[in-house]
Amino acid sequence: MAINNNTPCLVCGSATTPVAKAESFVCTFCGSSEQGRSKCPEGHFICEACQGKTALRVIEDLALSTTSKDPLAIAELMMAHPGLPMLGCEHASLVAGAFMAALKNSPYGSGKITNDDIHEAFKRTTKQAVSGHCGLTGVCGIAPAVGACFSIFLGARCGSDSEQKITMEAVIRVSRSIADLTGPSCCKAYARAAITEASNLFGERFGIILPVRSGAALCRHSGKHPHGCREEKCPYYQKPSRDIFAEAKFVPGMVCTS
Ligand SMILES: [Zn+2]
Ligand SMILES: [Zn+2]
């Protein structure tokens, strides 16, 4: 059983509802069916095997198996795995994996982007994504992760012409979008911004439109931030809902007659 009775959903934190008899649920991450005894209102379920995986393994498996063409949706699913820490360079691999997977699944990547290319993006990313170095050198590992995606797509290498230039410009644009969200740092905000920026660049440079879902993703992780979430300063912050009339003298439906 992946989600125990009376415990919050491991994916979204919602209160789960116990079911009288074990039911078959589909794993949110791998799609396999397994018996469970409680339901998340949003339909999440994590099988035993996926619960036991490391975040990097889940990121790699999802990148290779997903059929989604939306890099942000793939990234959000990867972020939902409970093993992913709030901060850390797993997010660089997450960006590389989500973006390469969406590209592979798009009509433009069909037959051109392979699982070997996705593995190559992971390899290149982990060489330059070193935890804490966003503060120590000013380079967040997510920037070279996007660079790896562009480089693989273009076949860029040291000594190549416009391929290398376009790749470098992509890294600059992504670094800019990351710096705009800093103070303090947040790998999840960086990942979302980098994917959006990289998708925009693909449209501008190559006329390739990846269907990034409309509207900013709302973050479910702000309470876990070790340095304090930027809250209203972050475009992905989900404000707590409140009754806007609770402290107001105005009563809806009341008409002023004075
Ligand atoms: Zn859930
Ligand atoms: Zn699973």
Give the pLDDT confidence of 128-139 residue by residue, as tens digits: 999 999 999 999
The per-residue b/e assignment along 180-202, b for 16 or more CB within 10 angstroms, e otherwise, is ebeeebbbbbbbbbbbbbbbebb
> Domain check: are 223 and 98 in the same one?
yes
**C-alpha of residue 128 to centroid of ligand 1, in Å:** 33
- pTM tops 0.75: yes
**Does residue 233 fall inside a structural domain?**
no
**C-alpha of residue 173 to centroid of ligand 1, in Å:** 34
> Domain check: are 211 and 115 in the same one?
yes
> Domain check: are 125 and 182 in the same one?
yes
**Does residue 212 fall inside a structural domain?**
yes
**C-alpha of residue 113 to centroid of ligand 1, in Å:** 32
Residue 26's Cβ-count burial label (10 Å; 0-12, 13-18, 19+) is: middle
pLDDT value, residue 237: 92
Cβ(38)–Cβ(5) under 8 Å? yes
> Domain check: are 206 and 91 in the same one?
yes
State the residue for tokens 């002023």. 256
**C-alpha of residue 180 to centroid of ligand 2, in Å:** 36
Which ligand is closest to the CA of 2, given by its number? 2
The CA R_g of the chain, rounded to the nearest whole Å, is 21
For residues 144 and 41, give the distance between their C-alpha atoms in angstroms, rounded to a whole number.
Answer: 38
For 115, residues 6+ apart whose C-beta sits below 8 A from its C-beta are: 64, 104
> Domain check: are 15 and 101 in the same one?
no
Helix, strand or coil, per DSSP, at residue 240: coil
Strand partners, 35: 24
Strand partners, 33: 26
**C-alpha of residue 15 to centroid of ligand 1, in Å:** 8
Kind and range of the H or E element at 201?
helix 187-206
| Closest to 72 in 3D by CA, of 221, 215, 231, 230 | 215
**Does residue 8 fall inside a structural domain?**
yes
> Domain check: are 202 and 120 in the same one?
yes
**C-alpha of residue 88 to centroid of ligand 1, in Å:** 23
Q: At what angle do helices 115-128 and 55-65 cross, to 10 degrees?
A: 150
Kind and range of the H or E element at 19?
strand 17-26
> Domain check: are 4 and 27 in the same one?
yes
> Domain check: are 43 and 151 in the same one?
no
pLDDT value, residue 4: 47
Cβ(40)–Cβ(11) under 8 Å? yes
Neighbours of 37 (CB within 10 A): 17
> Domain check: are 115 and 189 in the same one?
yes
**C-alpha of residue 231 to centroid of ligand 1, in Å:** 22
**C-alpha of residue 196 to centroid of ligand 1, in Å:** 25
**C-alpha of residue 110 to centroid of ligand 1, in Å:** 32
Which ligand is closest to the CA of 52, given by its number? 2
> Domain check: are 42 and 157 in the same one?
no
Digit-coded pLDDT (tens) for 46-99: 999 999 999 999 999 999 999 999 999 999 999 999 999 999 999 999 999 999
Digit-coded pLDDT (tens) for 23-35: 999 999 999 999 9
Which ligand is closest to the CA of 57, given by its number? 2
**C-alpha of residue 253 to centroid of ligand 2, in Å:** 50
**C-alpha of residue 222 to centroid of ligand 2, in Å:** 25
**Does residue 38 fall inside a structural domain?**
yes
Decide if pLDDT at 3 tops 70.
no
**C-alpha of residue 45 to centroid of ligand 2, in Å:** 8
Cβ(148)–Cβ(121) under 8 Å? yes
Q: Which structural domain, as residue segments, surrounds residue 172?
A: 60-228
**Does residue 257 fall inside a structural domain?**
no
> Domain check: are 42 and 159 in the same one?
no
Helix, strand or coil, per DSSP, at residue 22: strand
pLDDT value, residue 239: 84
**C-alpha of residue 11 to centroid of ligand 2, in Å:** 12
**Does residue 202 fall inside a structural domain?**
yes
**C-alpha of residue 26 to centroid of ligand 2, in Å:** 8
**Does residue 250 fall inside a structural domain?**
no
> Domain check: are 93 and 126 in the same one?
yes
Decide if pLDDT at 258 tops 80.
no
Question: Per the structure, how many domains does the chain have?
Answer: 2
